[in-house]
Structure 1
């Protein structure tokens, strides 16, 4: 049996995976990040290889061409534009989905040889505020802690993160640590009562955008109660007197901070007291902190509390930024952001000269390039004329996506490297390049705790799909830089990357020069390890800055005086009555714009349709009913989506996932609503606060299509989910009546209509067998999709038709456990029919809650509800 050790392709946890004989996938029990555990997305990675609509060959203006033709045309177009209007008129937009070697080549080509820094990454959208907060406080973008700290701390503060959903394996480690150590406290700071907040000892549902008030208030509390480490501050910290002067004013008295945060004084005191009392305290933060108009300041206000108490880089005590993507950290190592040079260097003259000498680069960029939002505005205005988008979907993921699509449509020469031609961004491409995907390419990634892991290929890429580094190096050769891009494989790139990290490096923590002399075999056998790994040092450093020595010029960390700002809400006039404050974010079972996960039926089961969520009070005040199709408007644009209920939200606030692209729903992409408001320091967009208004949609009829192909109908709105043998679509129309729809279908022939209560069922036939079913009614009906899909392929006269149809129309049961496909009905039946009254009983019988653990809260709620009703 052949076993390949590789890594997961999704979030920043960086789980290890084993693949046996290119067929059987499991969590790697030897990997330090996950110890064998996998979430439902990671566990589904083998299934993702069965990719529909795979891009197999280069396409130039829609026509298949050879790689030589594609690259020659690309070099000709980029070369012509650079000659005409300079290197600033071309750009790359890349992704945290790239491997470090891909990232390195892209940055070397753009910043060292093309001669501009116009290369940015979708990590700008999730982690750039943390990058800048680290750099301002520590002198370098370094996460000082490690995953073990999350298990040995006495107080875990999770802020701006729904860790149970976004980083399930890490949250499972936290759950298990709390079970072993019941004295460990957990505080969750989030306007929403998320699945993570449900499990907290204290949930602070603060007013959105008030995080700087909260953490400045904590710093003031520490000062007032003499809970700071004066010796540590004296020896290791700059800026104390300035911060002290700012905080010792009436603004930061407890009552005022509570009012600003929308919290009670009692809640605030409890949190502040716990933080002051526990020397082992970790503050875990993610997008809710970063995705703000002052995300960098929020990060620094948070880090200030750890510097005041000396809790940085010590066992169980650190600020800890979780990265969103699998290689966001690796991208930062090679200068993936437009504001960085490689190896954690800035654009100082000294650094530019150093990198130019190492690369022998003739045209080194000497100033930062355009950040993501500015980059696409420059594309729209014509300042950037050629753009290469690699492994990301900015038409969906960037704010103000209406403008982004306009920019893509205007781009003089747009290249997109992808696995599928179906992404929203790919629709605009002049040149499509087929990219090798997970399992088909090799290289390295770095996770949130600075652990480098080999991602290894275990199957051949289909067609002519190629690794991204290869395409980038080939472009470099064709632009006249052959000597600098003459690589045989990723090991050559990795050795160069490692050597640069140690080149003339006397102060930066990022140094992996011990790996610069790896042999080909050592690279192939590489096992996970954390940086720094400087030459001459064998052991990895699990934590950094624990000795109080930082990467600043004087070796001391910096306290930052940060002033709270309100979120910037783009509106035409004053806030309208009935408007909602919209928050965006992720679902547990989906990834980014669903390009990699949306085609898997089981990953769509828990959340099959786009929804915007509000609480019961907001729902009642809106006048809409739960499940209604509504239109949501902002100053930027409009979307159509279904209305859901989530009582974990605050009054007047809404939440909508960011995943839906035009491939899965018509006009449900939430970033059509989001204004391009960015943090002034990092350029990271404010995704978390957008003012919107909802209005009714005049729906003439509701439809549900289950079939082996797309329905042949033009409708106002649709959303689809894949099935094992076809697809299911929710359909609605504002213009035509149900009878007009039937008239259109009848004209096509091969349709049979059956009357049903409140509507009808149209059955599409081919040679007497069912190939499609369209259920039409005046209101949307809950239907068991799997049962209905079971009719596909059966003869029309099948005795199963009426029975199955009756059962399907009796309703569906929502999926609770994605890992083992356990529905609410199965759980309720186990409680009622088999008398199970404890979580362990459900786990033993159905396996639910035994893998990633994200459904445990739901299981406990169902146990409480149904055991209580049984006793009554």
Structure 2
């Protein structure tokens, strides 16, 4: 056995990973204690990486028009069909849509081919959906897409503000770093600003549950308050910024009294002023913001409203200070470095930058090839699919992402894909929602096989090292793109044999004509790494850019000298005029929709859905709603319900929670047609965009909710090797597929009357019923099918609340032959006397809620005591807020059953406005 060092492929924290390799298999992972992003910590998703591997379900052979072919045939088809589109409709009829899951080297080669040699500007990325507004705001104000902070600043701050970020679930390792820092520094304060009471509130000293979309009003109000109270840093403003008067004038167009701001944001005035006072009184303030700010039709302005406050107070370029945008994907920043956005060229050069087109052209020119770069930016993500719909774009190459699910108005996107004459998909998995629209499918390598670099949220470049060979005929994305480029006649510019050569070229371009003393110098510069040979590249340690001759060991913090990347060298305060969400509420759609991630899942679950323990925390798609709103609508906890929105509907199970504001609902972003029948949140959203960044308004939908009337519910477990789509064998009311370790769980519900379930089982299931217990009067049934001593399926017709814990049943699917004592207990679904563990709380150690509550009631009423007894909360720490909530609930004799209360500080019967957290 040997150990390899690599980087986690999930969120933008960029955690270092040590992976155990034995006999050509990855057998386990642990956090890399030497990596400065995580110092050995891993969240539950990272800890489960080894469980997501395996060749089952992988794409292993190229396909052209549905037929498996060899690579030469596939690559020839790609090149010939792209060329045919160019000859018929022009270069701009070709486009690419990339992903923050690609490595920097993959991104670089794709951007170079499409923009440099195919001459099309229409190359964009799914980072447009999460980070584009943060990028646009940094560029407007600081002059460059340059995050000024480091993770160390969280540990040196006096005040940390989390706004639009559920850090505890979305970036859990960073949250644990912050939590540890706060425990070590009792003077540090944390403020959480979010419409929902999230698990991040566990460490909050102050919580402001503002109205959705009112962030810009709040930070504009803060700017005006600072000015009125004499809390501006006049010296910093005079020497290092411009635009204060215009920014203040815009802020003062609205009433700047605390009471007026509080009313507009729907928060408590006294607590709002407490936040303003804390922010203005401390110099070392970090504001962490993410999708709750960015995913808005005015996201860029919201980001600039935050940056304005930091500039006005001189809270930037210092240890423990700065506006800190937290990246959503592992390489969203690396993609921006190489030009992955449609409004970029490469190496942080844009179309509008004087001389940039000529500079990149000269750099990419070879002895016999001269690139032909487009003269203006291309279509941004949503606009790109609208151009496909209009017929302007006729060839699309998608790499490592799933726009059929993730984009707003997703059904319209699918119609555009269906219409597109040529769709090429580079993908590692054999079953995604996008593949049915593909004319050519190219099998790509995945995390454990890829070799290259990624850049995390603090500008830290890390190596992602290939540890295993790709399965079958799968190939690296940079190799695929280069092979197509050679067939198109551009071989001289794409003669790469190793990603080290691509990285070196990328590093050289970052320093090309980029003198630090020049007025047009670029902040992004890693030219000191340009001479790395292959062994140096393989050994590259994590390092933060810029990496130059002057800073060969990297740069932890930007703008310490107060000199910015603008033409004047001064940071700009931007006038911001708050705007509400474009998706307006109405009588037909009276509920405000919020969307986001859940703790244990990632994007569209192509990876995390392969790890059964990651499916247990939130096994089905869900809709969170307040108990009061549920009562008014006549629906109850765990009942099935339907949301209808701008482009379709969403069916899921209700979760009543006191963490929601009245009139608002929350749904997760992860479920696709592979895992449920109608749970794609993108179908609920209208495609309203930020006019500057092009980022969609994914946080502010408008929906209606009603009960999903069903006549029956059933749970079906089927042996994994049986496969089968049991969802289509009902009336389509509701289904969800949940992978377990040894079987597939199907949650089914139908609107028709109870049926003859034994007859149904004989028709649709692989083995005739062997055991059953039937209650026709109550509409209940339990049955099982056994063949040659092996359990092949298990069925319960009843609401899922009556399920036993499924771990015991799951293990029985791996047992052969089944003993007579086991057969007697199959219908019960558990060992004699075994108690159901309840909903999963700790994914790392698979500890359920009932066991935790029993331990609390027996005296283990602290997180530490529960960890000592049950091990929950002792690994990644993501479940600690839920443990604290259960401790609080157990101490409250009036706690209501079946209502989840995140953090325990919001109260039923009122919107969680501004709650001070002890």
Residue 501 of structure 1 is matched in structure 2 by: 510
Q: State the match for 2:850 in structure 1.
A: 825
Alignment check: 8 A CA contact 1:296 1:681 kept: yes
Per the TM alignment, residue 811 of structure 1 is displaced from its structure 2 partner at its CA by: 4.9
Bigger mean CA deviation after superposition, 101-110 or 633-642: 633-642
Q: What displacement does 1:152 show?
A: 1.0
1:788 aligns to what SS in structure 2? helix
2:868 matches 1:844: yes
Does structure 2 conserve the Cα–Cα contact (< 8 Å) formed by 1:421 and 1:432?
no
Alpha-carbon distance in 2 for matches of 1:130, 1:262: 25
Q: CA RMSD in A?
A: 1.9
SS across alignment from 1:93: strand
Q: Partners in 1 of 2:784 and 2:803 — Cα distance?
A: 19
Question: Aligned to 2:743, which of 726, 732, 737?
Answer: 726
More moved, 779-788 vs 376-385 = 779-788
1:214-273 deviation line (CA, Å, top 9, x unaligned) = 000000011011111111111111111212323345522222111110112112100000
8 Å Cα contact 1:703-1:780 kept in structure 2:
no
CA 1:241–1:768 in 2, change beyond 3 Å: closer, same or farther? Answer: closer
C-alpha distance in structure 1 between counterparts of 2:315 and 2:691, whole Å: 28
- 3-state SS of the aligned residue for 2:729? coil
Q: 8 Å contact 2:143–2:564 — kept in the other structure?
A: yes
Mean Cα displacement is larger for which, 240-249 or 178-187? 240-249
Distance 1:534 1:628 in 2: 59
5 Å-filtered alignment, 1:82-231, equals 82-231=86-235
Query: What secondary structure sits across from 1:771 in the alignment?
Result: strand
Instruction: Return the offset for 1:51.
Output: 4.7
Match of 1:685 among 676, 696, 700: 696
Q: From the superposition, tell whether residues 73 and 598 of structure 1 become closer, same or farther in structure 2 (CA, over 3 Å).
A: same
| Alpha-carbon spacing, 1:247–1:581, altered in 2? closer, same or farther (3 Å) | closer
Q: Structure 1 residues 778, 723: closer, same or farther in 2, change over 3 A?
A: closer
- Give the drift of 1:741: 4.5
Per-residue CA distance 1:574-603 (angstroms, 9 max, x = gap): 434x82111000011000000111121100
Which residues of 2 match residues 707-786 of structure 1 at below 5 A? 707-708=718-719, 709=722, 710=724, 712=726, 714-715=729-730, 716=732, 717-735=734-752, 737-747=753-763, 750-752=768-770, 753-756=772-775, 758-767=779-788, 769-777=790-798, 781-786=802-807
Q: Does the CA contact (< 8 Å) of 2:444 and 2:474 recur in 1?
A: yes
Q: Deviations over 1:751-801 (max 9, x none)?
A: 244214641123223246431112113786343222333443567883334
> 3-state SS of the aligned residue for 1:37?
coil
Question: 2:910 — aligned with what?
Answer: none
Structure-to-structure mapping, 1:223-372, within 5 angstroms = 223-249=227-253, 251-348=255-352, 349-360=354-365, 361-372=370-381
CA contact (8 A) 1:586 1:657 kept: yes
For 2:7 and 2:573, locate their aligned partners in 1 and report how far apart those are by CA, in whole Å. 37
Q: Displacement of 1:508 after TM fit?
A: 1.0
Write out per-residue CA displacement over residues 273-317 of structure 1, whole angstroms, 9 at most, x where no aligned residue: 000111110000000000001000000000000000111121001
Structure 1 pair 302–536 and aligned structure 2 pair: CA distance change class (3 A):
closer
How many residue pairs are counted as aligned between the two chains?
865
Verify the 8 A CA contact 1:340 1:346 in the aligned structure 2: yes
What does 1:211-610 correspond to in 2, within 5 Å?
A: 211-249=215-253, 251-348=255-352, 349-360=354-365, 361-506=370-515, 507-569=521-583, 574-576=586-588, 579-610=590-621
Distance 2:800 2:524 in 1: 59
Residue 810 of structure 1: CA displacement? 7.0
1:538 CA displacement: 2.1
2:237–2:311 contact (8 Å) kept in structure 1: yes
1:721-775 deviation digits (Å, cap 9, x = unpaired): 111111111001124x332454333456712442146411232232464311121
- What is the CA-CA distance between 1:868 and the residue it aligns to? 6.7
Residue number in structure 1 paired with 2:913: none
8 Å contact kept, 2:55–2:471: no
After superposition, residues 43-58 of structure 1 pair within 5 angstroms as 43-58=47-62
Secondary structure in 1 matching 2:869 = helix
Partner SS for 1:107 = helix
Distance 1:643 1:9 in 2: 31
2:650 is paired with a residue whose SS is strand
Query: Given the superposition, is the C-alpha separation of residues 144 and 755 from structure 1 closer, same or farther in structure 2, using an over 3 Å criterion?
Result: same
Distance (whole Å) between structure 2 residues aligned to residue 521 and residue 51 of structure 1: 30
Q: Distance in 1 between matches of 2:817 and 2:631?
A: 46
Query: 2 CA distance for matches of 1:245 and 1:161?
Result: 29
Deviation at 1:53, TM superposition (A): 1.4
Say if 1:92 and 1:25 are closer, same or farther in 2 by CA, change over 3 A.
same
**Residue of 697, 700, 705 corresponding to 2:716:** 705
The alignment's TM-score, normalised by the length of structure 2, stands at 0.92
Contact persistence 2:295–2:698 (CA under 8 A): yes
Deviation readout 1:416-435 (Å, 9 max, x if unpaired):
11111210011211111111
Q: Give the aligned partner of residue 898 of structure 2.
A: none
CA distance in 1, matches of 2:184, 2:114: 50
Tell me, in whole angstroms, the C-alpha distance in 2 between the residues paired with 1:740 and 1:679.
53
- In the alignment, structure 1 residue 23 sits paired with structure 2 residue 23: no
Task: Tell me what 2:880 maps to.
Answer: 856
Distance 1:766 1:272, change over 3 A: same
Structure-2 separation of matches of 1:781 and 1:765: 23
- The answer to whether the 8 A contact 1:192-1:648 is kept is yes
Secondary structure at 1:799 match in 2: helix
**Residues 668-699 of structure 1 deviation map (CA, whole Å, 9 limit, x = unaligned):** 11111111111010000001011111122221
User: Structure 1 CA distance, aligned partners of 2:276 and 2:180?
Assistant: 25
Cα distance change on mapping 1:248 and 1:724 into 2, 3 Å: closer
- 8 Å CA contact 1:705–1:711 kept in 2: the answer is no
Matches of 1:305 and 1:516, distance apart in 2? 38
CA–CA distance in structure 1, aligned partners of residues 99 and 755 of structure 2: 48
Find the counterpart in structure 2 of residue 647 from structure 1: 658
Give the drift of 1:566: 1.0
The answer on whether the counterparts of 1:701 and 1:779 sit within 8 Å (CA) in structure 2 is no
Conservation of the 8 A alpha-carbon contact between 1:93 and 1:122: yes
CA deviation vs aligned residue, 1:683-719 (integer Å, no higher than 9, x gap):
0000101111112222121110011133656121210
Write the mapping of 1:626-665 to structure 2, written as runs, cut at 5 A. 626-665=637-676
Secondary structure of the corresponding residue to residue 135 of structure 2: helix
If the length of structure 1 is used for normalisation, what is the TM-score?
A: 0.96
What are the Cα deviations for residues 138-194 of structure 1, in whole angstroms up to 9, with x where unaligned? 110000010000111000000000000000000000010011011100000000000
Secondary structure class of the residue paired with 2:45: helix
The whole-number CA distance in structure 2 between the counterparts of 1:184 and 1:537 is: 31
Give the structure 1 partner of residue 635 of structure 2.
Answer: 624
Tell me, what secondary structure is at the counterpart of 2:755? helix
